[in-house]
Amino acid sequence: MLVFFFSPCFTYLFLFSPSFLHFNLPLSLPFLSFFSLFHFSLSSISLFLSLSSISLFLSLSSISLFLSLSSISLFLSLSSISLFLFSSIFSFFIFSFLSFISLFFFSLSFSLAFFPPFLSLSLSFLHFSLNLFSLTSFYFSLLHLNVFVPSIVRSIPEEQILSLQQQTQFLWQTYFSNVEKIVTTVLEILKDRIYSHMARNQMLWNTMPGAHFIMPEYSDAAITYPFYYKKLGRQPSAKFTAVIYAISPVMASSSSLFRLVRNVAKSASVHKILVIWHCDVSPPPPRKWPSDLAVPILVKTRNIKTISSRFFPYRDIETDAVFSLDEDVLLTTDEIDFAFSVWKEFPERIVGYPARNHYWDDLRSKWSYTSKWTNDYSMVLTGAAIYHRYYNYLYTHLLNSYSVKSIVDQMQNF
Examine the pLDDT at 354 and tell me if it is beyond 70: yes
**What does the pLDDT read at residue 161?**
86
Rg of the chain over CA atoms, in angstroms? 35
Alpha-carbon gap, residue 94 to 87, rounded angstroms: 11
Examine the pLDDT at 167 and tell me if it is beyond 50: yes
Tell me which range, 22-36, 57-71, 297-311, 317-331, is most confidently predicted by mean pLDDT: 317-331
Mean pLDDT (whole number) for 215-229 = 90
Helix 256-265 and helix 333-345: axis angle, to 10°?
60
Cβ–Cβ < 8 Å for 282, 251: no
Going along 247-395, which residue ranges are E strands?
270-277, 297-300, 321-326, 351-352, 355-361, 366-370, 379-380, 384-388
**What does the pLDDT read at residue 407?**
73
* Helix intervals (H) in 156-288: 158-171, 179-194, 202-206, 229-232, 256-265
Examine the pLDDT at 68 and tell me if it is beyond 60: no
Examine the pLDDT at 166 and tell me if it is beyond 50: yes
Q: Quick one: 240-411 is in which CATH superfamily? A: Spore Coat Polysaccharide Biosynthesis Protein SpsA; Chain A (3.90.550.10)
Mean pLDDT (whole number) for 269-296 = 88
Examine the pLDDT at 114 and tell me if it is beyond 90: no
Q: List the chain domain ranges.
A: 2-156, 175-214, 240-411
Tell me which range, 15-19, 159-163, 264-268, is most confidently predicted by mean pLDDT: 264-268
Its pTM surpasses 0.75:
no
**What does the pLDDT read at residue 121?**
52
Examine the pLDDT at 7 and tell me if it is beyond 50: no
